[in-house]
Amino acid sequence: MNEISKQNIEKLIKLQEAETEIVRLTAVLEKIVHEKIKLNAKLIQFEAGLKEKQEIFSKLEKDCRDLEMEIKILDDRIVKSNEKLRMVKTNKEYQLCLREVDDSKKHKDALETQLLEYMDERDATRTIVEDTLKEYELLKEKITQEQKNIEKNSSDDRELLDEYEARKADIGQTLDKALMTRFGKVSKMNKGLVVVPVRNEVCMGCFMNIPPQLYIEVQRGDVLISCPQCSRILYYRNS
């Protein structure tokens, strides 16, 4: 076997080992990121539900205040109408004031009934909001802890990824730039699997047969041979 070609093959095999680990660790870390995003989304969704309940409660509180204000205005109107009732001089004026008082009292009764309904709904909503807020705080604490655990568990993988990235860069500096470009293109095409052995005339990357003459050239190792089906770089091992 040509010594330069043999050295390239050995370097490419080591480069492939680093690339395989880089692809694996990158996938692991991407999964971790997705898990964190999923946890955040769960918290945001719960928070949106809490906010919606809080807005409903705030509106009910405002409605209660508005009704209380309207009832107070009616109370003042009834007081003034009763005062006016004592001062009228004609029966017509008396009947008119009496009707005003009666109408105001009826309106007040209706508003008080409505206010009681609103207050019941407000109090029930307040309980729901308080319970939901407690659940939110518990969920937030749980998710925060889960994210910390995920981050802690992923730190080793990040360090390992950095090591393999450095190893890949070091090996890459000893290889021809054109070969590294070729390696990078094939890696993208085949999810990181670039350099594969050939066994019994079968590419162990795509598991397709290669032509007998090409198999012989791979065994010789004089030049770098690519699989005609998957473009992976082939090498021969006796075992």
Structure-block tokens of residue 189: 């095409």
Residue identified by tokens 């692809």 is 23
Residue 101 and residue 155 share a domain: yes
Q: For residue 1, is pLDDT > 60? A: no
What confidence score (pLDDT) does residue 239 get? Answer: 59
Indicate the number of domains in the chain. 2
Residue 12 lies in a domain: no
Residue 59 lies in a domain: yes
Q: What is the CATH number of the domain that holds 168?
A: 1.10.287.1490
* Residues 48 and 160 both lie in one domain: yes
DSSP 77-105: HHHHHHHHHHH--SHHHHHHHHHHHHHHH
Residue 7 is assigned to a structural domain of this protein? no
- Packing angle between helix 91-173 and helix 3-87, nearest 10 degrees? 170
**Are residues 216 and 100 part of one domain?**
no
Do residues 79 and 122 both lie within one domain? yes
Q: How far apart are the first and last CA of the chain?
A: 17
Tokens of 157: 């993988």
Whether 27 and 100 map to the same domain: the answer is yes
Residue 53 domain boundaries? 21-175
Q: Do 212 and 159 sit in the same domain of this protein?
A: no
* 141 & 62 share domain: yes
With respect to residue 15, please indicate whether it lies within any of the assigned structural domains: no
* Residue 8 resides in a domain: no
Residues 105 and 171 in one domain: yes
pLDDT at 138: 96
- pLDDT band for position 195 (cuts 50, 70, 90): very high
Q: What is the pLDDT of residue 234?
A: 95
Question: Which segments of 99-199 are extended strands (E)?
Answer: 195-199
68-117: pLDDT as tens digits: 999 999 999 999 888 888 887 888 888 888 898 899 999 999 999 999 99
Which tens digit of pLDDT belongs to each residue from 19-43?
A: 999 999 999 999 999 999 999 999 9
170 and 180 in a single domain? The answer is no
Rounded to the nearest 5°, which phi and psi values hold at 203?
-70, 125
Whether residue 225 contacts residue 205, with contact meaning beta carbons closer than 8 Å, is answered with: no
Same domain, 109 and 171: yes
Give the pLDDT mean for 192-221. Answer: 94
Last-in-domain residue among 157, 175, 193: 175
pLDDT tens figures, 42-81: 999 999 999 999 999 999 999 999 999 999 999 999 998 8
- 6 confidence band (pLDDT: 50, 70, 90): confident
Does the pLDDT of residue 162 top 90, yes or no?
Answer: yes
Question: At which of 175, 192, 216 does a domain end?
Answer: 175
Structural domain ending residue among the three candidates 135, 155, 175:
175
Evaluate if residue 4 carries a pLDDT over 60: no
Q: pLDDT digits over 216-238, tens only?
A: 999 988 888 999 999 999 999 77
Q: For residue 101, give the amino acid letter.
A: V
- Is-above-0.85 flag for pTM? no
182 and 168, same domain (yes or no): no
Residue 215 belongs to some domain of the structure: yes
Do 44 and 149 fall within a single domain? Answer: yes
